[in-house]
Chains A and B, each alone.
Chain A
Amino acid sequence: MSHCHSYLDHIDIPEGAKKIVLVGNPNVGKSVFFNALTGMYVDVSNFPGTTVDISHGRYGKDVVVDTPGVYGISSFNDEETVARDVILSADLILNVVDAVHLERDLFLTLQVIDTGIPTIVALNMMDEAADQGLKVDVDLLEHLLGVPVIPTVAVKGKGVEEVKTRIYEARTGHIPPDLKTHLQGMLNRIGSWAEALLVLEGDPHVAERHGVPAGDMREEIYHARRRRVNDIVKHVVSETEEGASFSTKLGRYMLRPVTGIPIFIAVLYAMYYLIGVIVAQDIVGFTEETVMQGMYEPAIRAIVGKFVSEGSALGAILIGEFGLLTMTVTYVLGLLLPLVVGFYLALSIMEDSGYLPRLATLVDRIMTGIGLNGRAIIPLILGFGCVTMATITTRILGTKRERTIATSVLGLAIPCSAQLGVIAGMLAGIDTKYIAIYVVVILLVLGVIGKILNKVLPGESSDLLIDLPPIRLPRGENVLKKTVTKSYAFLLEATPLFMVGALIISGLQLSGLLESIQVALAPLTEGLLKLPKETATAFIMGIIRRDFGAAGLSDMDLTPAQTLVALVTITLFVPCIASVMVMFKERGNKEGALIWISSWVFAFVIGAIVAAFVI
């Protein structure tokens, strides 16, 4: 009954092996079960065409596949589409449910049961439920669902062994009789109970796969399902006491602007300290300068130099200033890797603690002003680490329109950490007045660009509608796993782009075009920006790496006013070659080119305006 799906073809499924699929809402503890079942042998791969990672491993002779946390099986976003395809192909489903949030989680459980695939439920976080004064009648729940239900406290290992031994007791649960009647009608045309359900619920993709029109019963089925969930919860859950716990209160404080904004500032400062100070200065200083430039580069130059002269064209491409084996490797491993790991670490902690959705809620109002909703805070914050990485994460945004706005704002107004370090250093040397002007100009541009795009782009942005999970202390193991998975996926995606970028720059340099561009730009820099013509070199360098550009400026003899103009221009203008390439890849050639070219125009126009005022 399983179907051919591009990703699932990659998993080697032995003859006669069953496919066990883990399903659950976000943050219910699926990964603990996944680790318990698969042990050490885990493969992580990126689902084609999405940012969604899927882990899979072995349990005995069978294959276990993890899915992203979802609230239901349908196609509202990437995660759900991926989860849906994996679930539809399952032989057996282990559904992990949060005992504290049965009202939310059982909706997915009932949908899973309605697919007709044999299911077993792990009722997790029983300790937390007890702490909150909730009592769950497990036997009655099992009876009402028609599938085995095992109470667990996965993080403490309670019940995990029982889930492992009883997993093959999974069975088809109770499907409501009237839904069954409808499904049987659809079954003749589809051939699979599970896919018939999705077609009936109006999933356009599944319907298209079978060449049938999508059904129009979603509302009806969802309503009936919701009524059943409420009914089940009413019968199996009894509340023994009430009262807001500390974490509930903390969650509220994070939302209210009076307390939420100071908390946000504190979190930002902690992030800045981790990424800007510890990683960007101490760790990168060691990995980039000491390890890569100090040890790796001379070694690789010596080895390759034996076969190819560094002066030759091939030598320049391989081990020259912008070489594939020199600059690219140093950049990716020495600079980017520590930064990316640092950022994803901070982000995973925020995600697992339940802070991120609350932050999205707090900033939603401000973001709607530039045509985005609160969720867009994630790529914008990531942009301060690395615009390339942030551009990839704009995929989490609901509509194409929002992705365009976020990418443009990122390309223009957000300086990445590599650049930020140099900018901060240069600003520190000049008058406070100029620092204030710099900040105001950049924020103004960010706001104006967002506002304009919001007006000009057709359509509407999506509204905020998110679940606020409980605030809890993140688990180290889970945070580390997420960090490693995401960092690896990012490097896999970005490294080829850096290589292409390095090749282009080497080509420009070898053909002498790099110098011609420098000469051609000179009038613009001298005339418009009132800067010495050597700054053109810094701008060109900025294309390769933003901080190269800024670093080039810091070597020059500029007045404080000139420094301000140069920094404004270099912040606004084109991002580094890697982020430009990601921009093209994500947004398509036409839109990518438009964003790229307008960032140049904006940078020079605004630079010129600032120059006219201050110089």
Chain B
Amino acid sequence: MTLAQAKRGQRLLIAAIPNPAVRAQAIRFGISEGAEVECYEKLPAGPIVVGKGKQEIAIGRRLAENIQVKPA
């Protein structure tokens, strides 16, 4: 499944981030392939907010559609 399909409150494992530039930026925020995150918030047709520890990151919907995740 993709991150865009996640539900609020769901815990997820990041499986794949295809875009190398996005991958590099996400990894600095603590979100890398293999990381476990929680879907904090899901705006209607809008960004997905994921969190890991105290860190929160907003990811645009189109980007979220390209991030592969697995339920943790």
- Interface assignment of A470: CB less than 8 Å from any CB of chain B: yes
Verify A464–B58 contact, CB threshold 8 A: yes
User: What's the least CB distance linking B21 to chain A, in Å?
Assistant: 7
Query: Which of chain A's residues have a CB closer than 8 A to the CB of B25?
Result: 71, 76, 465
Verify A255–B49 contact, CB threshold 8 A: yes
Known: A218-B24, A219-B23, A257-B43. A465 touches B52 (CB 8 A): no
Verify A360–B23 contact, CB threshold 8 A: no
Q: Which residue of B lies closest to A470 (CB)?
A: B54
CA distance A230 to B27 in the complex (A): 11
- Size of interface on B: residues with Cβ below 8 Å to A: 32
* Residue of A74, A132, A219 contacting most chain B CB atoms (<10 Å): A219
CA distance A365 to B42 in the complex (A): 12
Known: A255-B49, A364-B43, A365-B44. A466 touches B58 (CB 8 A): yes
Q: Which of A101-109, A138-146, A526-534 contacts B (4 or more CB under 8 A)?
A: A101-109
CA distance A364 to B47 in the complex (A): 7
Residue from B23, B28, B49, B52 within 8 A of A468 (CB atoms): B49
- Interface assignment of A100: CB less than 8 Å from any CB of chain B: yes
Query: Which of chain A's residues have a CB closer than 8 A to the CB of B56?
Result: 251, 467-468
Query: Which of chain B's residues have a CB closer than 8 A to the CB of A256?
Result: 41, 43
CA distance A468 to B47 in the complex (A): 12
Which residues from 39 to 59 on chain B have a C-beta closer than 8 Å to any C-beta of chain A? Answer: 40-41, 43-47, 49, 52-59
CA distance A104 to B54 in the complex (A): 9
Verify A464–B63 contact, CB threshold 8 A: yes
- Size of interface on A: residues with Cβ below 8 Å to B: 41
Verify A361–B29 contact, CB threshold 8 A: no
Q: Which residue of B lies closest to A460 (CB)?
A: B62
- Interface assignment of B13: CB less than 8 Å from any CB of chain A: no
Known: A71-B29, A104-B29, A222-B27. A361 touches B58 (CB 8 A): yes
- Interface assignment of A323: CB less than 8 Å from any CB of chain B: no
Residue from A100, A132, A226 within 8 A of B27 (CB atoms): A226
Query: Which of chain B's residues have a CB closer than 8 A to the CB of A76?
Result: 21, 24-25
- Interface assignment of B68: CB less than 8 Å from any CB of chain A: no
CA distance A225 to B67 in the complex (A): 21
Q: Which residue of B lies closest to A260 (CB)?
A: B43
- Interface assignment of B15: CB less than 8 Å from any CB of chain A: no
